[in-house]
Amino acid sequence: MIDITSFGSSSAGNAYRITDGHTPLLLEAGLKYKDLQRALSFRVSELAGCLISHEHGDHSMAAKDLVRVGVDIYTSQGTADALKLTGHHIRPVSALQQFTVGSWTILPFDVQHDAAEPLGFLLANTAGDKLLFATDTYYIKHRFVGLTHIMVECNYSIKTLKQNIAAGRVPEVLKSRLLRSHFSLENVKDFLRANDMRRVQEIHLLHLSDNNSDEALFKREIMALTGKQVFVAGR
């Protein structure tokens, strides 16, 4: 059993608490530390660690504060260097090199984003649950079996983006960055089709764009494709 709570899932800030009932983890630290404290009911010290995908502020804002209060940060060396994170609470990890935190066995994997050394994470627990976390990427080359929970970015729809550009609501210059740094609805569908979905219980759609997404449409289309329970992470 995995419990997932979203504290923020947008360009304004991203942070999620997950637990299997034994080991609570924070995925991303993209909120002000005071806001994280409140979201965690001031029980920050109960976290077994925090995984950070990359250095952009909406994913890492509170990283130094978490280190200061003794929370271990698991992230790539490239991300740690970009954020100037140092000290014994920084635990550099590398793509495809497995590590453990409490009851979780975690496999980082490389993703595609305009950052120093971005990572996604595959988390498995001792009960047989397997959670995929991938955000801020336009492509995932890896394939996964036995997933039970999926947390994946679904930032924009290509159709909506083109409509907004044509109407002048979104500058044309932003199109190329979105296409080369974020996961579209269309790419999410391709990714889900390419993976083993037989055991999946929940799909959580993350980091929806304020301008180029449609929460109800995205949820409806992913449910229709997969037949699974779909949630849109709270922003």
Q: CB count, 10 Å around CB of 194?
A: 13
**What is the distance, to the nearest Å, from the Cα of residue 34 to the centroid of all Cα atoms in its chain?**
21
Q: Which residues have a Cβ under 8 Å from the Cβ of 126 and sit 6 or more positions away?
A: 20, 22, 103
Find out whether 45 and 79 touch, Cβ atoms under 8 Å.
no
pLDDT of amino acid 179: 65
pLDDT of amino acid 178: 66
pLDDT of amino acid 26: 98
According to DSSP H, which parts of 63-123 are helical? 63-68, 77-83
C-alpha to C-alpha distance for 28 and 121, rounded to whole angstroms = 11
Per-block mean pLDDT, blocks of 10 residues, the chain (235 long): 96 96 98 98 98 97 98 98 97 98 98 92 97 94 97 91 78 69 91 96 95 91 98 86
Domains annotated for the chain, with CATH where assigned, are 3-232 (3.60.15.10)
C-alpha to C-alpha distance for 213 and 208, rounded to whole angstroms = 6
Beta strands in the chain (DSSP E): 3-10, 13-19, 25-27, 50-51, 73-75, 90-92, 99-101, 104-110, 119-125, 130-134, 149-153, 202-206, 229-232
For residue 15 the two structure tokens come to 């942070």
